Chains A and B, each alone.
Chain A
Amino acid sequence: MTHELIQELYSYFSTKSFIKAYKKDGKAVIGLLCNTVPEEIIHAAGAVPSRLIGTAENFELAPAKIPGWICNYAKRVFEDALSGKFDFVDGVVSSTSDDTKIHLFSAYNFYLKPEFSYLIQIPYVRDDLSRKFFVKELKRFAEKLSGFLQSEINDERIEYSISIYNRFRELLEVLNSMRMEDKPKLSGAEWMKIMQSSTSLLKEDINPLLEKLIEKLEERDGRGEYSMRVHLSGTDFHDIALIEMMESMGIAVVSDDFCTSFPAEQVNNGIEGIAENYLNQTACVLTSASTSIEERIEYIMSRFKESRAEGLIILRDRGCEICGHQCAFTMDAFRDVPTMVLDLDVPVTTEQYTTRIEAFIESYG
């Protein structure tokens, strides 16, 4: 029953059935290219925020428009966009979180010409001036969006949206704790399915489903037999098959730090609170008090410890500049724990990783 419920949730990602229904009801869908875009504002405007996740395994159209060596996330999104899989999107929003996201935004606009687009300017520091600027920037975004949608974004609607999203975060916190149990009640692959499904439903629609799922999971016997608890590290990773393969080999994926997962910090106090929350995000950190590398390592370390992981597997997207710059430091910070780096490229053929994962488990599991 629990398995079926998760599969049902995942089917909403695959079929986009909810998205289609929202469109039918006259709602606009705003595609997001980065997790640093505050969904609450889009939600408050009456639109459907949907993080775009591409599933292309082969690339026929994108290579004519963008280089083949850039990150898998961008390549897949762009291939799917060009092949019409994101035709439901009315507008696109991204942020200046990294070079690929910026230029993916530009390429998307240039070639797909959505009716609305906005690039949120993120300050790379967290001083008072930058915080104030970011609040102003989010208000500017809200104004442009409400102009496009012909809808008002007022304090009341923002507060309502925040409450919906905070409830979603609470539920994720519960689910996250379930996958960290001694006998994890939720697998890493199941967690990723839930995360992906959340991109294709309004949060007020997914929240009751998650509540139901939590009830079912509480009755579930957790997984007692596994050889190693592992934290997965990376950026816009979403290849469920690879996680399933790891778990079938005896690994329990108890935690991750992907930006395709969802940071659980609660938001307070209107747009100012939203700005504070998103500026402090560390899942794919750029802004920081010291350096983003320190902060990112601290973040990974805290998730690693909280989940009582025994090993770290870094899923390094060959074209990801954040992974590319930070991986060496992460490995160094985790030098006293079993660590392995898997270089990823699309298509992800799980077989090529089998031997390395087996060796990892044999050595440390």
Chain B
Amino acid sequence: MKADPKNVLTGSHYLDGNHASAEGGIAAGCKFFAGYPITPSTEIAERVSRRFPLIGGVFIQMEDELASMAAILGASWGGVKSMSCTSGPGFSLMMENFGLGIMLETPCVLINVQRGGPSTGLPTLPGQADMMQARWGSHGDYEVIALAPDSPQESFELTIHAFNLSEKYHMPVLVMTDECVGHMTERVVIPPAEEIELVERRYTDKEPGEAWPYEPTEGGVSPFLPVGKGYKFHVTGLTHDYRGYPVINAETQETNVRRLIDKVNNHVDEIIWLEEKDVEGAEIVVMAYGISSRVIQPAITKARKEGIKVGQIKMVTVWPFPEKRVRELAGQVKSLIMVEMNYGQVFLEMDRCAAGKCQTYLVGHAGGTVHNPDDIYKTIKEAVK
């Protein structure tokens, strides 16, 4: 299915990452936004609130982030694509209902424009320290999908991609951007609507009374039941069976939770998106995501000019983690380096998957600004020894 031309501002624009994220959501067909303003994410909500009246969307400023997350889940079950945006403290507040979205298997998109934390931290400056919260922030066992744009252009594109993944795998999908990308203004090229491919919601072809919301299927997700068309069904955050009714025992728990995990784990090869450069024959591979994947490049160029065989992997998806690829590489390279604006979160996964087969390095800091390329260069020099 192609995007609706009414929603797509085709052309070259000079936009910041937040405005571009908003346009990505709108182009993807999002028609419901609920949010609570928080720096540095507010421009997404502002833009959506101005654009929605023109295209028939519903924008609600909620009383808080708990309600915002709940509202987008409700809207999604009502049959429209929905999204919200927030930053650190708001992300914490959304975590309980994010888990509800996972448990209910609700397509929606949540954008976290990361700032420095913990707590209120650095509202106006960037961080990447919510990455483990994105992975494990809600209680219970589950898998997540999280994308990390490196620019306004990618903020646009990956927000659309996030909607597509959410409709495909029936789950909230996270776009983990940051203050630097959110407030950085660059050229954003929005293609014609017919070039934007969208995944639309699949509905059951069974009659009312014959269909259930969580019937087992090969892909792991079953078609939706439309609301308002005579289908009576129930969904709940309690452990439930294929009918959506609570069944509180270990056996149902196993089926229910396995399903949440398997629908992602069985499709990691389709979901994981890495952009590799000069990895073949490299002695050192630098991994990074989001804005950090840009600032590693001057350091890598400098090191390569000196003859150091260094490659790079930009992780467009951070979760699910590219476990298989890292295990493979660990047996081939001398060192793996993770560059992120925190004190080692995604690094932990890289280090775990390297399993002692190569040296691992973290270039991290507490946030507030992007990395100094010199720090990355120094680590490359250290890692080649």
A and B from one complex? no
Interface residues of B (CB under 8 A from A): none
